[in-house]
Chain A
Amino acid sequence: MIKTAFWILVALVGAFAVGGIALHRGETINAMWIVVAALCIYSLGYRFYSAWVAAKVLSVDATRATPALRLNNGRDFVPTHRWIVFGHHFAAIAGPGPLIGPTLAAQFGYLPGTLWILVGGVLGGCVQDMTILFLSTRRNGRSLGQMARDELGPVGGFAAMLGTLTIMIILIAVLGLVVVNAMKHSPWATSTVFATIPIAVLIGLYLRNIRPGRVLEGSLIGLALLLLAVVGGGWVDSHPTLRELFNLDGKPLAWFVIGYGFIAAVLPVWLLLAPRDYLSTFLKLGTVLLLALAVILMRPEIHMPAVTQFIDGSGPIFGGALFPFVFITIACGAISGFHALVSSGTTPKLIGNEADVRMIGYGSMMLESGVAVMAMIAATLLQPGVYFAINSAPGIVGVTAEAAVATISGWGFPVTVEQMQFLAKEMGESTLFARTGGAPSLAVGMASIFSSAFGESMLAIWYHFAIMFEAVFILTTLDAGTRVGRFMLQDALGHIWKPMGETSWYPSVLIASALVVAGWGYFLYIGVVDPNGGINILWPLFGIANQLLAGIALCVATGILIKQGKLRYCWVTAAPLAWLAIVTTAATWEKVVSSDPRVGFLAAADSLAAKLAAGALPEAQAAVAPQLIFNQRLDAVLAVLLSLILWVVIADMVRVSLRVVRGQPVPPNSEAPHVHINSIGPSKIGAEAA
């Protein structure tokens, strides 16, 4: 009775808060409205929807032995306490994506992005993560690609592989671009980010040679050194000679990131990747906690309007209307296909009881969605004029500061050159104009909220701490992603020529890594030379690729549900799938056929080609124009390819489902046989593996 009253109260408060943020039309609104709305929606989603899905749709069985119990080998299959698995799983799924997407989507106002994060998270992303985690747990921790092959057939399996490889390439390129844009002509940020590399190597050596496997000690030393690097960056910035050494243009920085990616992918993991990942995980958990604390302590005012005029598609940060582009721009945080790869990777091998799947799968994604909400708050608490000045490319608002402020103020978001100069000086940067990619504006937002909560005079330190924090885990993703791409490529090439498939044969390692790095390096380089900022092109492609992967995961889940005779519940995964299919197809359509050169790839290529032919471009731009024209056409082909992959998998899933309905034979259920939890005594744990 008291419980019922409590949940009714949560529902009422939630409805009131959502109504508040949706209908509010004043100058500013307090961020607590968004926080309260989010907390209520997550609580209701977890308490009711996830419980219902777990019990009725998935039929979670707490008496069924998990692979961690049956196959316990003390190494990768280890039954682990659910809070520990939750921590590992959350650390694995939470990357830079949920910080960047909402920051970019804030150009539509705070409302559309926030609503999509909340609704998409509770009904889409959380359900996807939990379902895939559950299905993989039932199948001894098989990967998404293997499940697609087993349950749907070879077509689905191949599409999943191709989709994963494509998303890796695009993801790494766009994240590389975000880092380059954050370091461009910022000696402080550049020297700090550079310093993180030797620090990681030092910790790698410590964890291997001095105190093997003592991760806590190593990480604490590393974190202290990283903080020192942030302060040291300020010293470099104020030193006249060193300053110039780290004052780099976009192109050399892009080459640095490309070279770094190659070296990192071929080095042994213990030297660079593993220690940096430990550091980035601790930084990430600490910073997210700090941000949540600061938002609750400071209760900042949101200055961005609920909805801006840019929902019509004329936005300066990326072109394209609210539908479908808000749903593409915010992938991570609402629904991210990439999570399906993690949910069918390490996590299912650690789960001690099937009942934990709900908390780990649904719960972790809820928390990640909460991170996205905080990123949205950090972006929208800035004055909108400042936000647009930081995030708009010079190709859109004008090259000079005067032109940029005139354009942006003309949109009704007043900002002055003096205001921007003052802000840049406070943040320890030479300029904050046209720092596209989302990282700098997020860092400004985080710095202002951190400094007001924990120390007014340290704005520049907080700003560069935030940049370092983003860069560290972007570099981890870049390096880990290149490695995964390399393994996939080696596997594929191994079918053509056997020795290429040997993952430790050095020629094969070098060739496959070089090919993967060349793939993303190309998109990164073009993104850097593009005067419109590159983010405008790459982020939508990344969003489409990520939603495609989510589509494949939901196809696998829907197919399995139908095969198991749960046709009447299949909408749980089929409805988010249908939405993603609509959104990605609409976005692809717009990106290919739109006649607006800011939206359509082909229109952009044609318009640039026309300008080039007419001799209307300045010399510097004319030199890169042929590359840009080719790239836009390539992007159009890529977008079509991605959508086609999704539709092929959907068709395959529908084919299998129709066969089920008609009683025709389908690939058999690949679930591991039922073993009762009690039949595995402590003495038998691991017997199967032994």
Chain B
Amino acid sequence: MNMQRLTLWVAATWNTIRSLATDDAYDKYLAHHAQAHAGSPPMSRRAFYLQQQQSKWTGVSRCC
């Protein structure tokens, strides 16, 4: 029982770290795409990464 809770906790922490680092952005995009635009093929992982960087650095995203 305790082991199980520990596993859950580790998994949750790992997911948070992945989210903070935007490692899971592509997975989220795929999930969204499958739901909202099921007919069309999704972007590749690389194309998504490049597009994500482009849009992030078009506005003010870092401060003094």
Contact = CB atoms under 8 A, between A and B. Distances in A.
B52 A92 contact: no
Contact of B50 (A92, A208, A336, A345): A208
Contacts of A212: 44-46, 49
A311 interface: no
Given A74-B28, A87-B20, A338 B49 contact: no
A74 B51 CA distance: 12
Interface string A445-478: 0000000000000000000000000000000110
Interface residues of A, number: 61
Contacts of B61: 92, 342, 345-346, 480
Interface stretch (A192-200, A267-275, A406-414): A267-275
B16 A83 contact: yes
A175 interface: yes
Contact of B21 (A216, A332, A686): A216
- Listed residue (B16, B32, B60, B63) with the most chain A CB atoms within 10 angstroms of its CB: B63
Contacts of B53: 269-270, 274
A72 B32 contact: yes
Interface in A473-506: 476-477, 480-481, 483-484, 487, 503
Interface string A260-287: 0000000001100110011000000000
- Listed residue (B20, B45, B60) with the most chain A CB atoms within 10 angstroms of its CB: B60
B16 to A, nearest CB: 7
Interface in A542-579: 542, 546
Interface in A231-277: 269-270, 273-274, 277
Interface in A44-81: 72-76, 78, 80-81
B32 A73 contact: yes
B64 A487 contact: no
A214 B36 CA distance: 25
A342 B63 contact: yes
A209 B28 CA distance: 21
A269 B57 contact: yes
Contact of B46 (A73, A75, A208): A208
Interface in B27-64: 28-29, 31-33, 35-37, 44-46, 48-64
Nearest to B33: A74
Contacts of A483: 57
B54 A143 contact: no
Nearest to A209: B46
A287 B18 CA distance: 20
Contacts of A75: 29, 51-52, 55
B18 A338 contact: no
Contacts, number: 126
A689 B44 CA distance: 21
A216 B64 contact: no
A74 B57 contact: no
A663 to B, nearest CB: 37
A319 interface: no
Nearest to B20: A87
Contacts of B59: 143, 345-346, 484
Given A75-B51, A84-B20, A88-B20, A686 B32 contact: yes
A341 interface: yes
Nearest to B64: A97
A488 to B, nearest CB: 10
Contacts of B18: 216
B49 A213 contact: yes
Nearest to A481: B62
B17 interface: yes
- Listed residue (A213, A278, A689) with the most chain B CB atoms within 10 angstroms of its CB: A213
Nearest to B31: A74
- Listed residue (B18, B20, B45, B46) with the most chain A CB atoms within 10 angstroms of its CB: B20
Nearest to B58: A487
A687 B36 contact: yes
Contacts of A78: 28, 32
A686 B32 CA distance: 8
Given A74-B33, A75-B29, A686-B32, A346 B20 contact: no
Contacts of B31: 74
A194 B25 CA distance: 31
Given A75-B29, A274-B57, A81 B19 contact: yes
19 contacts: A74-B33, A84-B19, A84-B20, A143-B59, A171-B64, A208-B50, A212-B44, A212-B49, A213-B22, A270-B53, A332-B63, A338-B63, A341-B60, A342-B61, A342-B62, A346-B59, A480-B57, A686-B36, A690-B36
Given A74-B31, A213-B26, 9 more contacts: A72-B36, A78-B28, A95-B63, A338-B64, A342-B62, A477-B62, A480-B62, A481-B62, A690-B36
Q: Please give me the 7 A-B residue pairs with the lowest Cβ-Cβ distance, nearest first.
A: A74-B32, A97-B64, A213-B49, A212-B46, A341-B60, A269-B57, A686-B36
Interface of B: 16-23, 25-26, 28-29, 31-33, 35-37, 44-46, 48-64
Interface of A: 72-76, 78, 80-81, 83-84, 87-88, 92-97, 143, 171, 175, 207-209, 212-216, 219, 269-270, 273-274, 277-278, 331-332, 336, 338-339, 341-342, 345-346, 476-477, 480-481, 483-484, 487, 503, 542, 546, 683, 685-687, 689-690
